[in-house]
Amino acid sequence: MNDSIIFSFFKKHKLSYIVGIIFMILSSYVQTLFPKILGNTIDLLKINGFDKPMVLKNIFYIALISISSFLFTYIWRNLVIANARKLECDIRQNLFSHFEDMSPEFYSKRKTGDLIAYAINDISAVRMTFGPATALSINGIVLCVISIYSMCTAIDIRLTLMTLIPIPFIIIFTTKIGKLIKLRFRKVQENFANISDKVQENIYGIRVIKAYVQENDEIKNFENLNKEISDSNISMVKASSLLTPVIEVSFSISFVMNLIIGGNMVINKSISLGDFIAFNTYLTMIMNPIISIGRVINIYQRGMASLGRLNDIFKIKPQIKDVPSSHKNQRLNGYIEFKNFDFVYPNSEEEKVLHNINLKLHKGKTLGIIGKTGSGKSTLVNSLFKLYNVEPGNIFIDDKDINSIPLEVLRSNMAIVPQDNFLFSDTIKNNISFFKDIYPMEAIENASKNSLMYESILKFNDKFETLLGERGVNLSGGQKQRLSIARAIIKDPAILILDDSLSAVDTITEKQILSNLKIIRQDKTNLIISHRISTIEDADEIIVIDNGHICEHGTHKELLKQKGEYYEIYIEQSNDGKRGLQTS
């Protein structure tokens, strides 16, 4: 939970906070010395033939107060406010780590814009609460307590009590309005998440939007979201804007009462003119922190609303069960076995996606998987990565239950090239090496050669240092697939999975890549999913999946002899090829 993160942060930095608060109190205390010295100096100036050395001494004290206040304020701001920035950094780091631990199920229920809002707006609001708002609160309390005490003891207690009558009403009002601000700020954050998600969605999908001429419709949708965030912000401003005017009006009443009552006391010589001026200065000092109460409550309620949102996220635990790892660099051989494996997606009311899967794949062998769209091919291979929890006794790797293998060990021994190839907005080199410095340039080049991407890379002006656009937007579909294959090859995993990752390349390029893979991965396990028989026909074994069942298995020749589902796919694709030749 985020509360524990904040607590542990305060515990870790307690010394700097203690020193910072001490200097904050000293700064406030030094400032409260000024009104009394100022009042005393004015009383000295009223006297004919005043004591000049005494006046100069007071002027020196006033200068000393200013310098001390500056130094003390500089020290505490560098400690307390700097810590707030560190806290912001810590929470963001923990949030990012938390996101990395989450399973696909978590992301399927959350919008990207909402998650971005947590990492930016919400954390920033928490930082403001535990930085400027906390500092203003402590500074204001110390300043008010010392000022009121000085007003009561050094000047006049009756005058103090009468002029401060409006303050309790200010406190009650700000407390009530603060709750309203918290509710309305939460709505602002939700609308910010919606608009962030919309912008991101349109940037990623701009080609589809333009292809279907949906620009005007998307603009209208954005206008509605923009109006919603504008309305929620205005609603919050209407609530928060009441604070400062109410406080200022209340203090205006205090000053009027002070002028009437305090002025009469000066005329009656109950207090001196210097005391009266000192009292007004103290009242001004109190006014500033009280006025800042509005800002503090505004910031505090925003921060608490954001902290509540962050707590909701941190309370969500990773769905995938893991076991502790003692040997992170443990190498798997790659023997895979499925025993009576069934699978249904979590929280899904649909029937099982996979039924009674029984399969053995020995080290160094290649398994081809084919079937209709939605038959369960990707689900089968994804279960090896344990992207969802798997029941014990169903999947084994090297004769070990997959649940007994730590996730880090399991996934570090595998590489997958998925259907949806994701590339980072970075150099080609970093996309192949996945930002790791362990691979020499020769290995990066060899990986690109084996994936038949090398020649394409050399055509770019900056070669391997070429910067890719968002999600590799400046590459073709085939280039993206080949670059992703190079990323998998360089990892040299015990188990390699190609999930329909040659669909965007021509059959000649496909055969060359598969030929290269056969050479470099002859002693390692491979799983290839495809809709094209040409991709898997040379596999050691092929399985045909239909409605979650393995309906056929064998080699290419064996399956053709069976004249079943595989044979029908083969005939259909062969006829399509012939028709294509005739048409051309």
User: For all residues of the chain together, what is the average pLDDT?
Assistant: 83
Give the range of the structural domain holding residue 143, as residue numbers without chain letter. 2-314
- Both 463 and 552 in one domain: the answer is no
SS3 content of the chain, % helix, strand, coil (to 5): 65, 10, 25
- Both 48 and 8 in one domain: the answer is yes
Instruction: Tell me what pLDDT residue 47 has.
Output: 64
- Both 439 and 385 in one domain: the answer is no
Taking 70 as the threshold, does the pLDDT of residue 2 lie above it? no
Task: Give Cα separations from 48 to 41, 266, 271 (angstroms).
Answer: 13, 19, 19
Q: Tell me which residue of 569, 560, 411 sits closest to 493, measured CA to CA.
A: 411
Q: Is 498 within the bounds of a domain?
A: no
Q: Is 507 within the bounds of a domain?
A: no
Q: Is 258 within the bounds of a domain?
A: yes
- Both 287 and 370 in one domain: the answer is no
Q: What is the pLDDT of residues 233-259, one digit of tens each?
A: 888 888 777 777 877 787 788 778 878
Instruction: Tell me what pLDDT residue 13 has.
Output: 85
Q: Name the 3-class secondary structure at 370.
A: strand
Instruction: Tell me what pLDDT residue 271 has.
Output: 78
d(CA 584, CA 579): 9
Instruction: Tell me what pLDDT residue 578 has.
Output: 52
- Both 348 and 230 in one domain: the answer is no
Q: Is 497 within the bounds of a domain?
A: no
d(CA 103, CA 107): 7
Taking 50 as the threshold, does the pLDDT of residue 58 lie above it? yes
What's the half-sphere exposure (Cβ side, CA atoms, 13 Å) at 329?
0
Q: Residue 452 is part of a domain; what is its CATH number? A: 3.40.50.300
d(CA 41, CA 57): 9
- Both 370 and 433 in one domain: the answer is no
- Both 257 and 357 in one domain: the answer is no
Q: Residue 19 is part of a domain; what is its CATH number? A: 1.20.1560.10
Is residue 582 very low, low, confident or very high in pLDDT (cuts 50, 70, 90)? very low
Domain end marker among 250, 280, 314:
314
Q: Is 561 within the bounds of a domain?
A: yes
Mean pLDDT check: name the lowest of 2-6, 38-42, 138-142, 275-279: 2-6
Q: What is the pLDDT of residues 352-409, one digit of tens each?
A: 888 888 999 999 899 999 988 888 888 888 888 888 888 888 999 998 998 888 888 8
Task: Give Cα separations from 459 to 71, 478, 569 (angstroms).
Answer: 61, 15, 38
Task: Please tell me the total number of residues recorded for the chain in this structure.
Answer: 584
**Locus of tokens 């635990």:** 317
Domain end marker among 262, 285, 314:
314
Taking 60 as the threshold, does the pLDDT of residue 156 lie above it? yes
Q: Are 535 and 485 in contact (CB under 8 A)?
A: no
Taking 50 as the threshold, does the pLDDT of residue 461 lie above it? yes
| CA R_g for the chain | 36
d(CA 456, CA 172): 70
- Note the helical H segments in 118-268: 123-128, 134-150, 157-163, 166-204, 206-211, 215-240, 243-257, 263-267
Backbone phi, psi, residue 212, to 5°: -100, 10
- Both 39 and 110 in one domain: the answer is yes
- Both 360 and 463 in one domain: the answer is no
d(CA 541, CA 225): 53
d(CA 457, CA 450): 13
Instruction: Tell me what pLDDT residue 49 has.
Output: 61
Q: What is the pLDDT of residues 492-520, one digit of tens each?
A: 889 999 988 888 888 888 899 989 998 89
Mean pLDDT check: name the lowest of 22-26, 38-42, 376-380, 542-546: 38-42
- Both 275 and 341 in one domain: the answer is no
Number of structural domains in the chain: 3
Q: What is the pLDDT of residues 301-340, one digit of tens each?
A: 778 888 888 888 888 887 777 777 666 667 888 899 999 9
Q: Are 3 and 311 in contact (CB under 8 A)?
A: yes
Q: Are 363 and 354 in contact (CB under 8 A)?
A: no
CA 287 from centre of chain: 39
Is residue 579 very low, low, confident or very high in pLDDT (cuts 50, 70, 90)? very low
- Both 537 and 577 in one domain: the answer is yes
Q: Is 581 within the bounds of a domain?
A: yes
Taking 50 as the threshold, does the pLDDT of residue 581 lie above it? no
Is residue 3 very low, low, confident or very high in pLDDT (cuts 50, 70, 90)? low
Mean pLDDT check: name the lowest of 40-49, 72-81, 274-283: 40-49
Q: What is the pLDDT of residues 114-138, one digit of tens each?
A: 788 788 888 888 888 888 888 888 8
Q: Average the pLDDT over 549-566 and give the result.
A: 89
Instruction: Tell me what pLDDT residue 67 has.
Output: 92
Instruction: Tell me what pLDDT residue 71 has.
Output: 92
Q: Is 319 within the bounds of a domain?
A: no
Is residue 33 very low, low, confident or very high in pLDDT (cuts 50, 70, 90)? confident
386 phi-psi bin (left φ>0, alpha ψ -120 to 50, beta other): left
Instruction: Tell me what pLDDT residue 584 has.
Output: 38
For the CA atoms of 350, 355, 359, 365, the dihedral, rounded to the nearest 10 degrees, stands at -30
Residue 50's contacts (CB-CB under 8 Å, 6 or more residues apart) are 44
Is residue 220 very low, low, confident or very high in pLDDT (cuts 50, 70, 90)? confident
Instruction: Tell me what pLDDT residue 327 has.
Output: 64
Taking 70 as the threshold, does the pLDDT of residue 48 lie above it? no
Domain end marker among 492, 507, 541:
492
Taking 50 as the threshold, does the pLDDT of residue 147 lie above it? yes
Q: What is the pLDDT of residues 169-191, one digit of tens each?
A: 777 787 777 778 777 877 887 88
Task: Give Cα separations from 384 to 398, 495, 554 (angstroms).
Answer: 12, 10, 21
Q: Is 137 within the bounds of a domain?
A: yes
- Both 405 and 446 in one domain: the answer is no
